[in-house]
Chains A and B, each alone.
Chain A
Amino acid sequence: MNQRIRHLTVALIALFAVLFVQLTTWQVVRRDRLVNDGRNNRVKLREFDRPRGEIVTIDGKVIALTEPVDLAANPNDKFNLQRTYPHGDTYAHVTGYYSLGFGSTQLERTMNDVLVGKTPQQLLEATGSLLSKTDTTGRVVTTIDSRIQEAAKAALGDREGSVVVLNPSTGAVLAMYSNPSFDPNLAASHNGNTVNDYLNQLQADTRKPLLANAYQERYMPGSTMKIVTTAVGFDTGLLTLDRKFKNERAWVPPDTKKPIRNYGQKLCGGDVAEVFRRSCNIPFARLAVEVGPDQMVNGAARFGFEERVPFDLPAAAASTFGGLAKDFADSLALLAIHGFGQGQVQISPLHMAMISASVANGGRMMQPHVVDRTLTHAGSVITSARQQSWKTTMSPTTAATLTQLMIGVVQNGTAACCMKLNNGVSAAAKTGTAQLNPEGETQRSHAWITAFAPAQAPRYAIAVFIKGVNDEVSASTGGRLAGPVAKKVLDVAMSLPESPAPSP
């Protein structure tokens, strides 16, 4: 019998040998293929439920955090941790959302490594305390000031549009709000159907609430574009302050028979200060043609047109001057129209705020950023925002001149109605009313204002954009509609202490 038993032993060991070989096949030889299989979502699920750090405002308000799932209330929840956004839609376009199966957006996406603790510095810090309960998550401190952000949201009310507030000398985004926004809490739900339905509904919404309209969408700027045309005029030497423009009602530019008119078909003209503060169209159309296609396109490029704004949130829009130099050479009429911000010119509200910020900053346009610094759990700094200039939009002299012109707009120009700030703080502004339809059709127009304050020692630059979606908006002007919004926000901002915001 023993010989057979030995044979059996060998046979059984052979069976186990097959198991060893096959085990190695799955765990080593064919491992990569299995791990990278699209259907293998275990890494994703595991990652999804990892502890995740907070996102806070510069003044210390928590705008995204991770909390333990209340298993008593949600017995079917497969996860331990729930991402929550305590302020609902107020910061949605800054934080983005963190969803199961639909990825993540904005800071939740770009700052993922910091939030879960995967940057080299955090990993190093974590190795020191392997078995202890140390939290390795990181914290993202944004440049957003909750007081200004909330003021922006309140001032905009239920009108569609965006408000962006910048620190002109650093490029820090202090507020960035767009209406409509969305509730990231629903997108972060652990219920797949809730997320799916909500995101589908947002996708289908023609107002594009999922898009951070303040920096991912672009709109016709209207007369706010005159800042650019004027700056290019001064810097090319083709415009001087003593220039007088003819008082006229209509002007037919070259290459067309269609006349250009002023807003409301008014008679308009005078010196540079007057036409700027009254926002006449014809002088700037003439100026654009005088400067010529090459210089105008180059000038716009100095302001960052045709380039993606170098923002630290994903997918920032690139503004456009609406054509190449040779297109305008073929049709100077088009150049004339673009000279006062009509036609194919398009700009994002963020970029618009950057334009007045660059005037306030002596012609240096700073790179906008929304992340002030990132911290390890222990509180040491991983990265901190660097103040970098992006463009030199104009000479300091031109900036000083434009500041005077923009003060004129507030004192007795198109914004005189609505931009007198509290406590006698002086502001500098330019309004815009972008007419979306040709003459004769039902008029729809966007309302814009871009401004900075205090005019002499600027602390804040702002752009307010109100979308021309209804008669109420379209019947009014940038000054009357966007002006009061800008005033409310700047009044709140100016009431804050000037010293750097307290560390959270």
Chain B
Amino acid sequence: MEASVARARRRTELGLVLLSAGITVAAYVLASIGEKASMPARIIPFLAFVLLLVIGAHAVVRVVARGADPLLLPMAAFLHGIGFVMIARLSDRWAGLQATWSLVGVVAFTATLFVLERPGDLRRWQWTSLGLGLFLLLMPMIPGVGFTSGGARIWVSIGPVNFQPGEFAKILLTVFFAAYLAERRDLIVQTDRKVMGIALPDVRHLAPIGLAWVVSVVVMVGERDLGSSLLFFTLFVVMLWIATERTAFLVLGLALFASGAVIAHQLFSHVQTRVDIWLNPWDQYTGRGYQPIQALFAMANGGLTGTGLGLGSPGAIPAAHNDFIFAALGEELGLLGAVAILSAFVLLVGAGMRTTLRAQGEFEKLLAVGLTTIAAVQTFIIVGGVLRVVPLTGVTLPFMSYGGSSLVANYVLLAMLIRVSDHTSQTLHEVPRDATPLERFTTWRLKRAAR
């Protein structure tokens, strides 16, 4: 009975990843027909590559995490595929690089699942995670290594490789916070002092919220990366709130955020600029307002049903492959397509939250909620920025935007969620408790030695 649950989940997953692959290839063909009125030149290699990636990732899950939620991987594959089609439509060169990064992403996904045998193992790396996370976060500020591109100093250049270490820092800091809070939530909550009716914990235990605040400020001021700053801050406040079950922390967090936002707006011109573009883009159409307005034009052009893949003008939006990929997709796929994409994100976040709810240990719960919150809030920040719900701050759209760091980091994040989900299923005896890859390797070695 246990094995049949796992089989059913994997069967669902296989069906869905094949569907995602099918949609990706069909979209790729349609985009080429729309744009050049001909079939794509290398359709067979493309089909083979897509199938290799999705079936490869699925096979890895089947072997080492067969009890995991069947929605997580297919949703990521769908978003990844549609994003890739748009990037390929915008530039052959980007498409080539993104294809390489896709492969690296799936390899990272596989490696994570193999190396991370149980989510709890990460607790041992609590302080290492913090140290490495902070190092990565601050790395772009190191002279000679970090550099500024697109107004934010979030890039690092080592040898021939350029990457955004912040993408990985957010995962490491989530690991640290989950471990730290799982360990000390009782201590943080325990208090006998009250100030103005609010129970205040021991200052020592307030350190993490202070750290969150510091990290956010550093990212905002030092790296001018408002989106990531907001993301970190939200992440820490949410995790603290979930861990302590104290609404006071949420209120405190929001208050800190609000005051921080006001102060930042007063002090920093780049914050003022962002807010100004958000509120009055039409007044500066020929300047900074050009990009957001082009995005609105693009989406309006798409209307309900879209221009059709390959038939819009996504090239007219600056950075359409990156921050504005959602607007480019909105133009060619219309409201219907954009809603489908957002729904895939909702399903992905939903699967993450289901994993969180089912997770048995406190650490596992906090880890899953942190990772899911990253994906959800990051999506909201960038899509909301493109749609002018919030000021535009440059973060990548998970799985869709062009960029290696973001793609690889998101696949690592996905693998960790899958690991938590699978572990929970085993703990709940829904699926048989499988030997971990390391255990299987050890058994095999012992058997060989005994022979």
Contact = CB atoms under 8 A, between A and B. Distances in A.
Interface in B297-333: 297-304, 311-313, 315-316, 330
A40 B314 CA distance: 13
B383 A8 contact: no
B19 interface: no
A434 to B, nearest CB: 51
Interface stretch (A28-36, A165-173, A345-353, A458-466): A28-36
Given A35-B303, A42-B301, 8 more contacts: A5-B369, A8-B242, A16-B345, A16-B376, A19-B383, A30-B300, A37-B297, A42-B298
A24 B335 contact: yes
A101 to B, nearest CB: 14
Contacts of B316: 42, 45
A324 interface: no
Contacts of B330: 23, 26-27
A39 B304 contact: no
Interface stretch (B7-15, B384-392, B412-420, B422-430): B384-392
Given A16-B342, A27-B330, A8 B369 contact: yes
A20 B342 contact: yes
Contacts of B38: 133
A42 B290 CA distance: 13
Given A28-B303, A28-B335, A133-B37, A40 B245 contact: no
Given A26-B299, A42-B301, A18 B353 contact: no
A9 B242 CA distance: 11
A33 B296 CA distance: 11
A43 interface: yes
A81 to B, nearest CB: 12
A1 B365 contact: yes
Interface of A is mostly: helix
A15 B234 CA distance: 13
B285 A39 contact: yes
A1 B339 contact: no
A13 interface: yes
A4 interface: yes
Contacts of A6: 357
Nearest to A42: B313
A43 B241 CA distance: 49
Interface of B: 33, 37-38, 238, 241-243, 245, 285, 293, 296-304, 311-313, 315-316, 330, 334-335, 338-339, 342, 345-346, 349-350, 353, 356-357, 362, 365, 369, 373, 376-377, 380, 383-384, 387-389
Contacts of B238: 8
A40 B356 contact: no
12 contacts: A8-B353, A12-B353, A12-B376, A19-B342, A22-B387, A23-B335, A24-B335, A28-B304, A40-B297, A42-B297, A42-B298, A133-B37
A430 to B, nearest CB: 55
A131 interface: yes
A131 B383 contact: no
Contacts of A256: none
B297 A27 contact: no
Interface string A25-67: 0111011011101011011011000000000000000000000
Given A18-B389, A20-B342, A27 B302 contact: yes
Contact of B303 (A5, A31, A33, A78): A31
A4 B242 contact: yes
B267 to A, nearest CB: 27
Contacts of A2: 357
Contact of A5 (B33, B300, B356, B389): B356
B109 to A, nearest CB: 23
Given A5-B353, A5-B365, A15-B380, A22 B298 contact: no
A27 B241 CA distance: 37
Nearest to B327: A26
A34 B296 contact: yes
Nearest to A19: B383
Contacts of A46: 311-313
Contacts of B33: 131
B241 A23 contact: no
A-B complex: 8 closest residue pairs judged by Cβ atoms: A34-B300, A27-B335, A42-B313, A22-B387, A40-B297, A9-B353, A31-B300, A12-B376
B400 to A, nearest CB: 14
A33 B342 CA distance: 24
A5 B312 CA distance: 41
B301 A23 contact: no
Interface in A112-136: 131, 133
Nearest to A51: B37
A427 B421 CA distance: 98
Query: Which residue of B293, B300, B303, B335 has the most chain A CB atoms within 10 A of its CB atom?
Result: B300
A224 B140 CA distance: 84
Contacts of B387: 19, 22-23, 26
Contact of A22 (B311, B334, B388): B388
A1 B245 contact: yes
A116 to B, nearest CB: 14
Contacts of B338: 23, 27
A9 to B, nearest CB: 4
Contacts of B296: 26, 34
B134 to A, nearest CB: 25
Contacts of B245: 1, 3-4
A53 to B, nearest CB: 15
A51 to B, nearest CB: 8
A487 to B, nearest CB: 51
A477 to B, nearest CB: 58
Contacts of A23: 299, 330, 335, 338-339, 342, 387
A465 to B, nearest CB: 46
Contacts of A13: 346, 349-350
B281 to A, nearest CB: 11
Query: Which residue of B297, B304, B384 has the most chain A CB atoms within 10 A of its CB atom?
Result: B297
Contacts of B311: 46
A151 B260 CA distance: 80
Interface string A81-96: 0000000000000000
B249 to A, nearest CB: 11
Nearest to A45: B313
B412 to A, nearest CB: 21
B180 to A, nearest CB: 15
Contacts of A34: 296-297, 299-301
Query: Which residue of B299, B302, B311, B380 has the most chain A CB atoms within 10 A of its CB atom?
Result: B299
Nearest to A43: B301
A16 B375 CA distance: 12
Query: Which residue of B285, B350, B376, B388 has the most chain A CB atoms within 10 A of its CB atom?
Result: B376
B242 A27 contact: no
A334 to B, nearest CB: 56
Contact of A12 (B242, B285, B303, B349): B349
Contacts of B301: 34-35, 40, 42-43
Contacts of B369: 5, 8
